[in-house]
């Protein structure tokens, strides 16, 4: 009986430690923890086949292949006062029509659901046009910023948000990864500034 109790206790302790370890890890992007300085993180992305296309204080843009999409732009973001990577934004190739744009969004949503489980939140609407059925108008409203399409996955290590986005009239699917640990450090730094 004592041996069973000791074995059961050891199993429960190891499960508890495993859960704590998972929650104390950084969110991963392409298998790389979202952590470290900008230079450290960019070096890891270069090893994953990405090339730097632009740099500015607090952000580096890279280009490469991601999730079976070619020439994706990856934005790596830090707080300028604290060189700590906390957020990654992926911008998929621009699309020319609603069917292609929504197809990319749906495909990525399905893959993310397979990996992370049921989304925490899904909002898919055109707030000013609730009964919109015209694909040409849908695409036009995305380009005009009148679209609210997003799917959010909350994980123990951070938040992943898939959404439709635009820059000027270019429409594309975007995916943001926010690391919980470093996000909290950045938030604490911002609160200190107040």
Tell me what pLDDT residue 79 has: 74
Tell me what pLDDT residue 23 has: 62
> Where do the H-state alpha helices sit in the chain?
2-23, 38-47, 98-116, 135-143, 180-193
* Alpha-carbon gap, residue 89 to 59, rounded angstroms: 10
Integer CA distances (angstroms), 30 to 13, 45, 46, 66, 108, in order: 31, 8, 12, 8, 15
* Alpha-carbon gap, residue 17 to 20, rounded angstroms: 5
* Alpha-carbon gap, residue 108 to 110, rounded angstroms: 5
Integer CA distances (angstroms), 3 to 6, 8, 30, 172, in order: 5, 9, 43, 59
Tell me what pLDDT residue 32 has: 93
pTM of the complete model: 0.84
Decide: 179 and 26 in contact? Cβ < 8 Å.
yes
Residue-wise pLDDT tens digits, 71-114: 999 999 887 678 899 999 999 999 999 999 999 999 999 999 99
Helix (H, G, I), strand (E, B) or coil at 150: strand
* Alpha-carbon gap, residue 180 to 23, rounded angstroms: 9
Tell me what pLDDT residue 4 has: 42
Q: How many helices (H) and strands (E) does the chain have?
A: 5, 10
pLDDT block averages, 10 residues each, the chain of length 194? 40 38 80 93 95 94 95 89 90 97 97 97 91 92 94 97 96 96 82 76
Helix (H) or strand (E) holding 175: strand 170-179
Decide: 166 and 145 in contact? Cβ < 8 Å.
yes
Nearest in space to 126 (alpha carbons), one of 106, 114, 112, 140: 140
Q: What is the CA 43 to chain-centroid distance, rounded?
A: 19
């Amino acid at each position: 009986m004592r041996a069973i109790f000791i074995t059961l206790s050891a199993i429960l302790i190891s499960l508890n430690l495993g859960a704590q370890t998972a929650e104390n890890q950084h969110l991963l992007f392409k298998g790389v923890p979202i952590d470290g300085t900008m230079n450290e993180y960019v070096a890891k992305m270069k090893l994953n086949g990405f090339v730097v296309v632009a740099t500015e204080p607090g952000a580096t843009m890279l280009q490469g292949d991601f999730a079976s999409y070619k020439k994706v732009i990856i934005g790596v973001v830090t707080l300028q006062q604290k060189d700590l990577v906390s957020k990654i934004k992926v911008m998929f190739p621009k699309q020319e029509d609603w069917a292609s744009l929504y197809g990319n969004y749906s495909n990525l949503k399905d893959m993310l659901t397979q990996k992370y489980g049921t989304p925490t939140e899904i909002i898919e609407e055109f707030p000013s046009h609730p009964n919109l059925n015209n694909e040409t108008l849908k695409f036009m409203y995305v380009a005009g910023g009148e679209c609210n399409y997003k799917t959010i996955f909350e994980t123990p290590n951070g938040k992943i948000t898939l959404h439709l986005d635009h820059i000027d009239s270019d429409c594309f699917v975007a995916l943001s990864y926010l690391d919980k640990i470093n996000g909290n450090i950045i938030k604490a730094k911002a609160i200190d500034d107040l």
